[in-house]
Amino acid sequence: QQQVKQSPQSLIVQKGGISIINCAYENTAFDYFPWYQQFPGKGPALLIAIRPDVSEKKEGRFTISFNKSAKQFSLHIMDSQPGDSATYFCAASVQGQGGSEKLVFGKGTKLTVNP
Amino acid sequence: EPEVTQTPSHQVTQMGQEVILRCVPISNHLYFYWYRQILGQKVEFLVSFYNNEISEKSEIFDDQFSVERPDGSNFTLKIRSTKLEDSAMYFCASSRTLNNYGYTFGSGTRLTVV
């Protein structure tokens, strides 16, 4: 119930194309859905996030689409650039014991944008 | 931009040895976390820490693990007797408030147990 399923595992896109990464969850207690970008040797960096009362959020070239009834959310990267090549993790936040927020991560998608 | 700082960046240790991984969270943050990432796999929650005590820990965080905030600025993860399967990237993270909805992660410590 605490899992977040992410697909695809890897994605190759041409420069200027649209990258789409999908995630699904089951636990309705999740209350926040961030996406993290990770470059090799670095920690995950928050890219964009959404709350379940919103169906879409856009920040620059990055858009999250959220379907609460289907328990699915996706990341769209418009006009993909070689600098976007990284591993992307979706995550879901749930309030843990003691009140802190715990993140449950998907398995990640390795995105390669070819020039 | 404020950062979470982790040291060392890479640590090699022999099986059975104790290791201490160090983190300096962002100064006005109140919630602290450790996560780990085995090579090529997803990031997994280990433990959360607030008000000088553990808020929650995962099944991974057994008696071999402990956390401490010894001096008000550092936040440490100790592995008492390392095993080969402890080899992973360990990430420290902090957040300012409850329901802040977003952590800041450090760059990680790569622990290699040989």
Domains and CATH numbers, chain A: 4-114 (2.60.40.10)
Q: What domain range is B22 assigned to? A: 5-113
Q: What tens digit of pLDDT does each residue of B51-69 get?
A: 889 988 999 999 999 999 9
Decide if A104 touches B, using CB distance below 8 A: yes
Q: What tens digit of pLDDT does each residue of A67-95 get?
A: 999 999 999 999 999 999 999 999 998 87
Residue B100's pLDDT is: 53
Residue A108, Ramachandran bin (φ over 0: left; ψ between -120 and 50: alpha; else beta) = left
Residue B98's pLDDT is: 63
Question: B102 pLDDT exceeds 90?
Answer: no
Report chain B's terminal Cα–Cα distance, integer Å: 36
Which chain B residues are Cβ-neighbours of A104 within 8 angstroms?
Answer: 45
Rounded Cα gap, residues A3 and A1, in angstroms: 6
Which chain A residues are Cβ-neighbours of B49 within 8 angstroms?
Answer: 100
Residue B99's pLDDT is: 60
Q: Which of A65-74, A82-91, B4-13, B33-42 has the lowest mean pLDDT?
A: B33-42
Q: Tens digit of pLDDT per residue, chain A (115 long)?
A: 679 999 999 999 999 999 999 999 999 889 899 999 999 888 899 999 999 899 999 999 999 999 999 999 999 999 999 999 999 999 998 877 666 778 999 999 999 999 9
Q: Which of B16, B13, B26 is nearest to B102 (CA)?
A: B26
Residue A98's pLDDT is: 67
Does A42 contact B107 at a Cβ distance shorter than 8 Å? Answer: yes
Under the banding of pLDDT at 50, 70 and 90, the label for residue B2 is: confident
Q: Are A89 and A38 in contact (CB under 8 A)?
A: yes
Under the banding of pLDDT at 50, 70 and 90, the label for residue B101 is: low
Q: Which of B43, B56, B98 is the mutation pick for testing A, counting most A CBs within 10 A?
A: B43
Element (H, E) at B50: strand B43-50
CATH number of the structural domain spanning residue B70: 2.60.40.10
The number of folded domains in chain B is 1
Under the banding of pLDDT at 50, 70 and 90, the label for residue B78 is: very high
In terms of average pLDDT, the best of A65-69, B39-43, B69-73 is A65-69
Which chain B residues are Cβ-neighbours of A46 within 8 angstroms?
Answer: 102-104
Nearest chain A Cα distance for residue B77, angstroms: 17
Cβ under 8 Å to B: A residues 49-88: 49, 51
